[in-house]
Amino acid sequence: MPLINQLLQSAQLAPPLSQSEAEALAVDMGSITDLFIYPRSIAARSGALFFLGRRDAAKYLGIVHTGAALAGEFTGQAGEVTLGGEVMSLTLCPTDHTNALALRAALPFTAPITLGLRKSAGCGDRLGLATPGHVRAVRKGSMAPIFAQQSIREMIRTQRSPEQVLDAASWGVFQEGWREGFGADADHLKTLEDVDRCVAAGFVFYTVDPGDHVDNAADTDDPITLGRKVEALPWNDLESSPGDLYRTYLDQQFDVGDFAVSFSEEELLRAAAKYGRSVAHTVRMYRHLATQMGDRPFELEMSVDETETPTTIAEHYFVASELKRLNVDWVSLAPRYIGRFEKGVDYIGDLAAFEAEFVRHAAVARALGPYKLSLHSGSDKFSIYPIFARVAGELVHLKTAGTSYLEALRAVAGTQPGLFREILAFAFERYDEDRASYHVSADPAKVPTPDQLSDQQLASVLDDFNGREMLHVTFGSVLTTQDVDGRYRFRDRLLAALQADEEAHYTALEAHFDRHIRPFG
């Protein structure tokens, strides 16, 4: 096999093989190793040939090398193969955490990087199986991807660790041969302990969520109450004072391009009372993060999207201005936009009003940054993607999460309808309790029950507003509920179904994410 010999001469990372070369080599290697080899995974560097293979439901990292010892910290079963008349070493390694660390060191394209101000899309993966489908969709567009993305809340609900989230993305990137770089978002972090866990795992993008410190009542408080709240702000942490606040913002005109931002006394008090503590918390989180990361590059996002009241233009300006004054370096910000951003369904609200307001948010982001405007709960918001793309241009970060889980269910509805029926019936039972921590408005009474649907109709539940939300918010219960014997009721069967017909899963994801990415170019 002269191609293998040629690849094994590569000291640096060899260029990707052509599709025909990769497919032919995958077949040859598969006959020798008794594995199905993923053609795009084949990569060569430093005298070793790396590939990902599958046997039954298990995947293995394969490494062919000519030396007696394999460089790196890989662990696996060593053997020998004869290729082109030459005896070579073959090490088959489990796709575990130890080997994921070694893979990221040996093939740096499998490790996350910072993305800067590149237009980007976050692809949350609650099952740890979606990255190959995400890669296939991202390849067709112009958005830089974040393939490892999960909030601490979701990690708890899915019983996953930050290491597992990042490892799953690395193995998926390796499988599909994605070499264009990807980010890793430790999403919706609320505590210093959350930060520490994700730093240890190797994340490079950190979304600070100070929503618990936003005072939503300030939207309607009277001036006297607002004054008392502002006096009580943590001024030492803000490195400021009420007097400084007035001198900085009152009776000023802040030019942001096509218009100017100004504050009346009441508007200033309202902005400070509402967001002052959240700014202080973000600063604490950022400085702690910077200390923990040391010389390693990282990026920060501030998110106040999961709060009750919209962020006005003046409030957006105040938050960004204060972060800048306090020397926080951030790459994106997620205000609470007008309208309703419910999980897994399209935007609910006046599109013209949204666009008019968003134009002004974008002007603030350009003037005080530039930084990207982040669209959280961004899954399936098809009606506003063209607005985002047209107004913000490159300054966009789209964040999706639960929609990938729903498309996994779509695949299962087609391949194992009986399992999907069980999950749908269980969602009816769990919805009232599980919806408590989400902004959703689905009415289960409007969702067909499993016995009302033929096998061919099952997937239609995922195209229905009420059915989609109901299945969305019950994911944690589906993945973690155990029967009396301690076995997971659905989790293992769901994962096994997706692994048994992974192409159906990837196809559903690719088609769905095409719709998310295409409007952005």
From 209, 301, 306, 342, the catalytic residue:
301
Please tell me the chain's helix, strand, coil percentages from 3-state DSSP, rounded to the nearest 5.
50, 15, 30
Q: Please check whether residue 154 is in contact with residue 148, taking contact to mean a CB–CB distance below 8 angstroms.
A: no
List, in sequence order, every beta strand (DSSP E) within 204-346: 205-208, 254-255, 260-261, 299-303, 332-334
Q: Please check whether residue 359 is in contact with residue 109, taking contact to mean a CB–CB distance below 8 angstroms.
A: no
- First CA to last CA across the chain, in angstroms? 41
Distance between CA atoms of residues 447 and 424, nearest Å: 10
> Residue 74 in 3-state DSSP?
coil
The stretches of 131-185 forming alpha helices (DSSP H) are 131-138, 152-158, 162-176
Task: Give, in order, the Cα–Cα distances in Å from 463 to each of 51, 457, 495, 518.
Answer: 37, 11, 22, 20
Distance between CA atoms of residues 203 and 182, nearest Å: 11
β-bridge pairing 86-94 and 120-123: unpaired
Residue 63 CB: number of other CB atoms within 10 A?
Answer: 24
Given the structure tokens 């995974």, which residue do they identify?
Answer: 41
The stretches of 369-517 forming alpha helices (DSSP H) are 385-392, 402-415, 417-434, 465-473, 475-480, 491-500, 502-517
The answer to whether 434 is a known catalytic residue is no
From 154, 187, 322, 434, the catalytic residue:
187
- CB-based burial, 243-272: b 16+ in 10 Å, e otherwise: eebbeebeeeebebeeeebebeeebbbbbb
Given the structure tokens 């520490």, which residue do they identify?
Answer: 196
The answer to whether 251 is a known catalytic residue is no
Identity at 416, one-letter amino acid code: Q
Given the structure tokens 């692809």, which residue do they identify?
Answer: 123
Q: Please check whether residue 311 is in contact with residue 335, taking contact to mean a CB–CB distance below 8 angstroms.
A: yes
Instruction: Name the residues annotated as catalytic.
Output: 187, 301
